[in-house]
Chains A and B, each alone.
Chain A
Amino acid sequence: MKMNGAQAVLECLRKEGVDLIFGYPGGVVLKLYDEIYKENFPHILTGHEQGAVHAADGYARATGKVGVVIATSGPGAANLITGIATANMDSIPIVCITGQVANPAIGKDSFQEVDVCGITTPITKHNYLVKNVKELPRVIKEAFFIARTGRPGPVSIDVAADVFNTEFDFNYPEEIKLRGYSGKYIGDSSEIDEVISAIEKSEKPIIFYGGGVTLSDTSEELRKIAQKLGCPITSTIMGLGCIDANEKNYLHFAGMHGSYGANMAIQESDLIIAIGMRFSDRVTGRVADFAPNAKIVHFEIDPAEFNKNVRVDYKVLGDLRWSLPIFREKLNSIQKDFAAKYKNWTQSVLEKAATHPFSYQNEGDQIKPGALIIKINELSDENTIAVTDVGQHQMWAAQFFKTHQPRNFLTSGGLGTMGYGLPAAMGAKLGCPDKKVILFTGDGSIMMNIQELATIADHDIDLKVIIVHNFILGMVGQWQRLFYNHHYSQSELKGKRDFVKIAEAMGVKGYRLEKSEQLETDLPKILSEKGCAVIDVIIPEEENVLPMVPGGKRLDQMLLGTN
């Protein structure tokens, strides 16, 4: 079929099942946008390219599908970088299509020219520069395949402007031919046998799972395995929801601001059964002293993760969709009551955990962040998607918002990108229109992509934005309070901004909550209203996120206390 490059892009996207694009037009993608106009392809115009890429990321995390972004060359592409890096760190499948200056202009420092492949190489799973329209269908097919298979990740496709205009004979390839990448990760099941015998020898095992379980949609397998073993379970923040927060053996997440119970159990354990996680510095504490008494089992799709941060004793290389069912079957074939064997260990861990749960203390009529989040949790249904920005509110949300299903807690875990939340929440809502979406953000983070309130208003996107407002960059302030003699260097936000007015000016409703009784009187009504609302919640300024493992300390050397 004869068509031009722009038509081919949209045809390829349809073939890949794309039903929504996030983007921002500009000079070199005018032809592509003309085709979007003619074909009425579903597209959300964001206020900033960074908003578009985070929205695609939120869409991908919430739905499990590949998020798609379009941006123009130069500044348009450069504005995607933070979002691509965010997706890369958390292994989120997105495809970014950017326009490049026309072939004859490449390399001449032309207007709005930037070397997109050059700057995206370190932060993508793979990238392409398409200079010939004949390559376009193959490249787009490969890009989606690479983004969604194996360990997922972002793929960038930079397309020279003249390619969009060039007519050619369109053919969508049936097969992928990549010699160096199969996308399949079937491992060696004898590795699982070794894990089983390690578990049989173990007295104090703990399951420690991460975002890989979310990405591979294997939470049901994980739940069955956890049930069979009856041992304590913890997770990274990226794994929240794969195990129901109400599961009795779940110790909540581990790490820097993780639970006392989880961190202590890891340090006491004799076998860490790590599943789909990467031993980030945020969960290991001082890495040399991580789980000193434990052998480590690592179920992982990416061989480069073995022994990267922590030495692994039993590795199981392969997709969790392959390994976990085999693991479960092998466990079930053993006539042994693991739960009974580990009962005392699990009991002692749970008792210890109960001595220092995540908690907060009421102070007068001020709204405490813990109380706020617990109240919102009560007012939400089990399937509500919580999205966060980055900082103290993120950690409080992780601690106090109970997540029951995977893909219901979206946060920038690896890169820690302030400004992620609002556009990601928008993308999540567009991907899952039947779920409620709540964003927890801060008075610092919200300012980093606040322009997307206008996008949300324009498209009547129904989400609730909770600004946990403490007049300071809270996490920076916490570190300054604890380690820099209360020197609040450039972290105080005592300006005159009024988030209620900003919300109204952008076209969404705005509310302010200042007194704790308003959580009972006002909040339920606001949350039950249809449409987007910004809820500016004033909390005390000098709040810490606790527990906290200070930098360079062991996991069991937490600062304790109540939030």
Chain B
Amino acid sequence: MKKYILAVLVDNKPGVLTHVSGLISRRAFNIESISAGYTEEPSVTRINIVVSVENENELDQVVNQLSKLIDVIKIVNLSKAPSIERELVMIKVKASKENRADLVNVVNIFRANIVDVTSENVVIEMTGNQGKIDALCEVLSDYEIVEIARTGAIALSRGPIPVKKM
């Protein structure tokens, strides 16, 4: 299975997310993450989808089926263009007096931040690509992870040309 990140520009109208997520599930496509947010144009929402597919044919199916939705304006496969990918994660870890210094070391090595501290736990925040976040989670699994919240990946193309003009 190979992962691709798709930037999907859609009309900012009610029901759009249902149309997109409904299509993905009824066509039995595998998605790793989906996130949506406002853009520079108030009438446009950008949905970032990470799909995992067996082959290029399946990827074409995902793109072509999504393109059929009336409210989808544009889809660009950013994995095929020079692009920057980021994801935000927040991780709540149990931290005692004994191991807190250790944890701070890990956080510094990953250039993550501690955004909340109590006597029993810390909340670590980091942005990065999915690989880096997976690596942090892996290291932190030596400690007791209480919970994790991840946004799913988002991406932008490098250079001056925006997705809507690609």
Contact = CB atoms under 8 A, between A and B. Distances in A.
Nearest to A304: B64
B10 A180 contact: yes
Contact of A304 (B11, B15, B68): B68
B108 interface: no
Interface string B63-78: 0110111111110000
B15 A129 contact: yes
A122 B61 contact: no
A180 B73 contact: yes
A129 B70 CA distance: 15
A308 interface: yes
Interface residues of B, number: 22
Interface of A: 117-118, 121-122, 125-129, 146, 178-181, 302-304, 306-308, 311
B18 A118 contact: yes
A180 B68 CA distance: 9
Contact of A306 (B22, B64, B71): B64
A311 B71 CA distance: 28
Nearest to B43: A179
A121 to B, nearest CB: 5
B57 interface: yes
B26 A180 contact: no
B15 A127 contact: yes
Nearest to A127: B15
Contacts of B57: 307, 311
Nearest to A122: B26
Contacts of B72: 180
B103 to A, nearest CB: 44
26 contacts: A117-B18, A118-B18, A121-B15, A121-B18, A121-B22, A122-B23, A126-B69, A126-B70, A126-B71, A127-B15, A129-B15, A146-B70, A180-B11, A180-B69, A180-B71, A180-B72, A180-B73, A180-B74, A181-B70, A304-B65, A304-B67, A304-B68, A307-B57, A307-B60, A307-B61, A311-B57
Contacts of A306: 60, 64
Nearest to A115: B18
A303 B70 contact: no
A384 B10 CA distance: 46
Contacts of A181: 70
Please classify the interface of chain B as helix (H, G, I), strand (E, B), loop, or mixed, using the class held by over half of its residues: helix
B12 to A, nearest CB: 11
Given A178-B70, A180-B69, A180-B72, 18 more contacts: A121-B19, A121-B22, A122-B26, A126-B69, A127-B15, A129-B14, A179-B11, A179-B73, A180-B11, A180-B70, A181-B70, A302-B68, A303-B64, A304-B61, A304-B67, A304-B68, A306-B60, A306-B64
Contact of A122 (B22, B68, B71): B22
Contacts of A304: 61, 64-65, 67-68
Contacts of A121: 15, 18-19, 22
A304 B70 CA distance: 14
B61 A308 contact: yes
B41 to A, nearest CB: 10
Q: Rank and list the top 8 A-B pairs by shortest CB-CB distance, nearest first.
A: A304-B64, A180-B73, A126-B70, A303-B64, A179-B73, A121-B22, A181-B70, A304-B65
Nearest to A118: B18
Contacts of A308: 61
B70 A125 contact: yes
A125 B74 CA distance: 17
B49 to A, nearest CB: 16
A122 B68 CA distance: 12
Interface string B38-67: 000000000000000000010011001101
A126 B64 CA distance: 16
Contacts of B61: 304, 307-308
Contacts of A122: 22-23, 26
A330 to B, nearest CB: 26
B15 A117 contact: yes
A179 B11 CA distance: 8
Interface in B1-40: 10-11, 14-15, 18-19, 22-23, 26
A315 to B, nearest CB: 11
Contacts of A118: 18
Nearest to A181: B70
Contacts of A178: 70
A386 to B, nearest CB: 32
B134 to A, nearest CB: 32
A304 B10 CA distance: 18
A119 to B, nearest CB: 10
Name which of B19, B22, B26, B72 has the most chain A CB atoms within 10 A of its CB: B19
A118 B25 CA distance: 14
Contacts of A180: 10-11, 69-74
B152 to A, nearest CB: 22
B67 A303 contact: yes
Contacts of B22: 121-122
Contacts of A303: 64, 67
Nearest to B44: A179
Interface in B104-151: none
